[in-house]
Structure formats: structure tokens, C-alpha cells
Amino acid sequence: MFLPRLLGTMDVFMLEKYIDELLKVNKKTTEYGLILTRDEIKNMILVRDRVLKDHGRVELGVEVIKELSEVFCTSPYVENVNFVPTLNELQEIFHYVKNETEDRISDSLLIGIMKENFDDTCNGSIEMLKSFLEEFQEQFRSDAQFRESVLERDEL
């Protein structure tokens, strides 16, 4: 009935609601010389929808975009000209890692790890961040499997 519409597309009302919600992020980002326009936000929401679809994920709001914007606006490697492209790449990376870690890491913790390494280890390089997070998620899965095997032995 309306299920394809609900799951496949966003109506104009929701899009406007999300845009208005994300415009409020400018209160923080302007402190760092970064401003998101309505068109840029609309683009980020469209990227978000594609990323979610590509990764088979569902998100009921724009909290991830909001948190990525608020956290990464403080980076010395982010400027107004690369702010939106960087946020779009970070959305892709975020959802990929969430899938690879089977959602066993909180959104805020993952974003914190991404930011810390983006600024420090990776010197603002998205490619280096991707590489770091590949290793991180492999180690995370390995540690999780080890914990599960220990718990299984304890139950015997």
C-alpha cells in the first residue's frame, strides 16, 4: 500500500523538517567559519539516503549528519570549501563501519574515534582514515569473536 513510499522516498515535509533541523547546526559551525546552506544540506540528505540504501541501513532522523557536522567542524583540516564533501564521505565511512562492526559500537563513540584519527593519525586525509578504520574494524571483530568464545567456554 504506502510501504514503498515510506521506505523508498522522502516526502517534501520530512525533507524540509530535516533541512530546518540541520540549519540549526550552523550555530556551532559558524564559530569555526563553516556555514551549511539549504542546498548543501539538501544534498547531504540525498547522499545520506543513497548511503543508507547502499548499506541496507535505516535511520529515522538526521542525527548522524548532525553529530558529524558538530564534531568535525572543529577540525583544523576542514574548511568551508571542503566541509560538505568531507561530511558526505564521512557519512559513507560511518555507515560502512557500523555494518562491519554489526552495530556493536555506539554512534558517538565511532564518530569520536573517526574525529580523533582524522585529526591526529590521518592529518585530515579521508583515504588514511578509511585505511585506519579498516584495521580498526578487523581488530574490533576479532576482539568480539574472542569475547564470545570466552563466554561460550564459561557457560560450559
* pLDDT at position 2: 43
> Domain locations in the chain?
3-155
The answer to whether 135 and 100 have CB atoms below 8 angstroms apart is: no
Specify the length of the chain in residues: 156
Say how many C-beta atoms besides its own lie within 10 A of residue 138's C-beta: 11
Amino acid of residue 111: I
For the segment 77-116, what is each residue's pLDDT rounded down to a tens digit?
999 999 999 999 999 999 999 999 999 999 999 999 999 9
- Phi/psi-derived region of residue 103, left when phi > 0, alpha when psi is between -120 and 50, beta in every other case: left
The answer to whether 15 and 45 have CB atoms below 8 angstroms apart is: yes
For the segment 134-147, what is each residue's pLDDT rounded down to a tens digit?
999 999 988 877 77
DSSP 3-state of 73: coil
pTM of the model: 0.85
